[in-house]
Amino acid sequence: MEKLQRGNKLWHMKFVLPEHDIALKHWHAAQDKISKPTLDEQELAEIGHIVMDSLRHELEVKIIYWVNGGFDEIIGVVDHVDQYEKYIKVRAEDDILTINVDCLISVIYLSGE
């Protein structure tokens, strides 16, 4: 009767096919991803005001945005806003990053504003 207990090696896989191993890794990576959050109109309006202030007055802002199932952040100045294509360009140090408006999570001032 000892052979049929769950703690026994009988219930564990003795080997894993390479295809199964790859599929399991992809499945575990997909479980760690975060779905893209949606913002209400008030949050979008507040983000819009801060982005336009940064564009007009070259104020430094911290932008948190969603990308590929996770969150990333950048500190910089908004360089360009395209309302038709719905993206912004942020100038940070030596790099310019393009971010879709739909992916924005929060934008906060870093200056004394």
Q: What is the 3-state secondary structure (H, E, C) of the chain?
A: CHHHCCCCHHHCCCCCCHHHHHHHHHHHHHHHCCCCCCCCHHHHHHHHHHHHHHHHHCCEEEEEEEECCEEEEEEEEEEEEECCCCEEEEEECCEEEEEEHHHEEEEEECCCC
Q: Which of 94, 101, 103, 102 is nearest to 51 (CA)?
A: 101
pLDDT confidence of residue 18: 84
Cβ atoms of residues 40 and 50 within 8 Å:
no
Sorted by where each begins, the domain ranges of the chain are 41-109
Which is higher by pLDDT, 18 or 76?
Answer: 76
Which residue in this structure is represented by tokens 């896989």? 13
Total-model pTM: 0.73
Identity of the amino acid at 106? S
* 26-65 confidence digits (pLDDT tens): 888 888 888 888 889 999 999 999 999 999 999 999 999 9
> Above 90 in pLDDT, residue 105?
yes
Q: Which of 66, 96, 72, 41 is nearest to 49 (CA)?
A: 41
pLDDT band at residue 98, thresholds of 50, 70 and 90?
A: very high
Q: What is the CATH number of domain 41-109?
A: 2.30.30.100
pLDDT confidence of residue 97: 94
